Amino acid sequence: MAAATRALRSSSFPSTFTTNFIRRSLSTAVSSAAAPLKSESFTPFIDTKGKNVQWVFLGCPGVGKGTFASRLSVLLGVPHIATGDLVREELSSSGPLSKQLTEIVNQGKLVSDEIVISLLSKRLETGEAKGESGFILDGFPRTVRQAEILDDVTDIDLVVNLKLPEKVLVEKCLGRRICSQCGKNFNVANINVKGENGNPDISMDPLLPPPQCVSKLITRSDDTEAIVRERLSVYYEKSQPVEDFYRSQRKLIEFDLPGGVLESWPKLLEALNLDENEDKQSAAV
């Protein structure tokens, strides 16, 4: 891990970010065919004391990046920034990109690096104006090119790669519901998946909404089985090489989720050597 985490520089980061991005020639983009690296056994050094972490959450659609990144952001006092949320905000606005984004998202494809970086830069700029520093990124970077651009402008301390079997991912996406009023996420799926190849069984109880949300539940338009399967195949092709990118930098922690949130959360904290009862932690794993 880079010991000296560079804080996001209030005035220069977003513009540097964008400028670097524009300067980069498309021909230098690394293709998703990057050679997979051998998995090594090591644990990154985790030090969260006295600084605002710059972490990234990777993982397939439906794995729970949003849930765990959001909980950790509260614990560590840094913003949780999900590029999927930024894309959805943009497509539900009446802005010029709205129609184009709706089409892309509803086909399960990735939005262009240009658009997503512009949305992220704006979000970081707004946060900096409010005094935010540090972040937990969820859903970014999703291509090696995005990872390289991020690497050019700031140091990422740690990358958490959440994992679940594909069958569970599909069931979770199909069971996902959002309260259109309070914005909270729920899940109506009752998951019991037999472990294969020596892996443990996975059970997850539904995460049901309180009575006041029941009549306001909506399903994401891209959470249909066909689109979920397309998103998964896009993940394997474009985003899995990002795991290798960070693995080679020895920043990647792999975390196989053992079950639902209640079961997984304490184990994730343990893997990150964090203690929920303290505000900020210092730890060497």
Ligand X SMILES: Nc1ncnc2c1ncn2[C@@H]1O[C@H](COP(=O)(O)OP(=O)(O)O)[C@@H](O)[C@H]1O
Residues belonging to the active site: 65, 142, 176, 220, 231
Q: Which stretch binds ligand X (CB under 6 A): 31-39, 70-78, 140-148, 164-172?
A: 140-148
Residue 234 phi/psi, 5-degree rounding, is: -65, -40
User: In the set 172, 231, 247, 251, which binds ligand X (CB under 6 A)?
Assistant: 231
Contact indicator for 213, 179 with CB cutoff of 8 Å: yes
Contacts of 212 (CB under 8 A, 6+ apart): none
Q: Does 105 engage in binding with ligand X (CB under 6 A)?
A: yes
Q: Does 161 engage in binding with ligand X (CB under 6 A)?
A: no
Q: Does 150 engage in binding with ligand X (CB under 6 A)?
A: no
If the CB atoms of residues 111 and 253 are measured against ligand X, the closer one turns out to be 111
Contact indicator for 160, 256 with CB cutoff of 8 Å: no
If the CB atoms of residues 47 and 241 are measured against ligand X, the closer one turns out to be 241
User: In the set 58, 69, 78, 104, which binds ligand X (CB under 6 A)?
Assistant: 104
**Measured distance CA(143)–CA(3) in Å, rounded:** 25
User: In the set 116, 124, 164, 252, which binds ligand X (CB under 6 A)?
Assistant: 116
Q: Does 139 engage in binding with ligand X (CB under 6 A)?
A: yes
Tokens (6 digits) for 173: 């996406």
User: In the set 13, 55, 140, 246, which binds ligand X (CB under 6 A)?
Assistant: 140
Residue 16 CB, nearest distance to ligand X (Å)? 19
**Measured distance CA(100)–CA(82) in Å, rounded:** 20
Residue 160: in which H helix or E strand, if any? strand 158-163
Contact indicator for 255, 268 with CB cutoff of 8 Å: yes
Residue 191 phi/psi, 5-degree rounding, is: -100, 130
**Measured distance CA(203)–CA(275) in Å, rounded:** 25
User: In the set 58, 78, 111, 168, which binds ligand X (CB under 6 A)?
Assistant: 111
Q: Does 189 engage in binding with ligand X (CB under 6 A)?
A: no
**Chain residues in the site for ligand X (CB under 6 A):** 61-62, 83-84, 87, 104-105, 109-111, 116, 139-140, 142, 146, 231
